Structures are given as structure tokens and as C-alpha cells.
Amino acid sequence: MKGSNKRRKYDVIYADPPWQFKVWSNKGAGRSAEIHYNTQSINFLKDMNIQALCNPNCVLLMWVTFPCLEQGLELGRAWGFTYKTVAFTWVKSNRNNANPFVGMGYYTRSNAEIVLLFTKGKTLERKAKDVPQVLVSPRGRHSEKPDEIRKRIVRLFGDVPRLELFARQNSSETTENIFDGWDLFGNEVDNSIEIP
């Protein structure tokens, strides 16, 4: 399915926007997302024609870090969606043990990210009623998200047309095809779709 139809429309859009995050020091700048990939302003993201990719009934699942929560809610509305809930909370553990990862933060040390759930049109049918919200899983490389979240999305909504926006990982980097059944958009992946 990946890259097969440039004009395809989707029931599920799974997004990890490349948020620009204001840092307050040179030390913070050395750890920011800009070191790892190109980021975009909220205005650039809002101007993307995501509505052209949506079926009339569509779900948007969007990763946000807590400092970008307000931007995430604003972006979902700009793309024509209504916020409903937090679909998933990823509690990061260390790569080498099950202890909680201790991240950065200006107030408390961050070790969790959330996926906001928005809807457009009628709510999609829930295919499974036992999909848990919380995932405790080791962190990967910068901005790499657990494959388990993609699997939970498919369990929740079924094998419907789905798109991952701002994908940053190629399936060639792993032994299993983590993008099986997903179309992709991102400047770091092969066979990316085009956004009109």
C-alpha cells in the first residue's frame, strides 16, 4: 500500500509532528530536535492540507510532548478535527533495564509522551474493547516511537486506510515491516506519499 496511490484518502491519520521547541540555553539547543531532524513552525504545520487526505469520517492520533500540548490541540483543530481524549500514554523505560527513563525538563524530568485522539465526522467503529492506554516500553533513538502503538491503533480501528505523517523510520531498519498496511509521509522515509 505504501506509496501506491498519491490521491488516496484515509480513515486513520497517525502523526508525529516535527515541533519546534523553544530552548533557553546553549545546553538545551545541543539537545533539541533540530539536531536530529528538520522541525517546522506551528503556522507551517497548520497550513498543510491534511483535510485533502481525510475520508469524511476520520481519526487523527497525534503525538505531543507536554510542553507542546497546547500546540497539539491547536493543530488538530486547524486540520478540521475535534479533540476527544488521550489515546495512549507512553512511559519510557531505559534501554538496558525496566527502570523509568529520566529525561530532560525545565521543571520535572520528562519520561512520558502522549497521543491525542481527535475525530472528524462520525466516530469510527471500535473493533476491540481491550486496547490499553498506557504503554511502558524502552525508549529508542531520538523521536523513535514504539511499534506497539501502531499495532494498538490497528487493533482499535481495524485494517482501514491509514497514513503515518512525519514518519522518521524506514522499515528497512528493522527485521519486520513495521509499516505494513500504512502509507507514509516524511522526508526521511522511502516511498513517501505527496500532500497536495
Q: Is the pLDDT of residue 25 over 70?
A: no
Q: In this structure, are residues 72 and 62 in contact, taking their beta carbons and an 8 Å threshold?
A: yes
Average of per-residue pLDDT across 15-42: 67
Who has greater pLDDT, 66 or 194?
Answer: 66
pTM: 0.84
Residue 176: left if φ>0, alpha if ψ -120 to 50, beta else—which one? beta
List the single range of 36-40, 62-66, 141-145 with lowest mean pLDDT: 36-40
What confidence score (pLDDT) does residue 1 get? 43
Q: Ramachandran region of residue 51, left (φ > 0), alpha (ψ -120 to 50) or beta?
A: alpha
Higher pLDDT, residue 192 or 91? 91
Q: How far apart are CA 158 and CA 147, in angstroms?
A: 16
3-state secondary structure of 186: coil
Neighbours of 72 (CB within 10 A): 23
pLDDT at 15: 96
First CA to last CA distance, the chain: 18
Per-residue pLDDT band for 38 (boundaries 50, 70, 90) equals: confident
Query: Model confidence over 121-168: pLDDT tens digits?
Result: 999 999 999 999 999 999 877 678 999 999 999 999 999 999 999 987
Q: Is the pLDDT of residue 27 over 70?
A: no
Q: Does domain 10-185 have CATH number 3.40.50.150?
A: yes
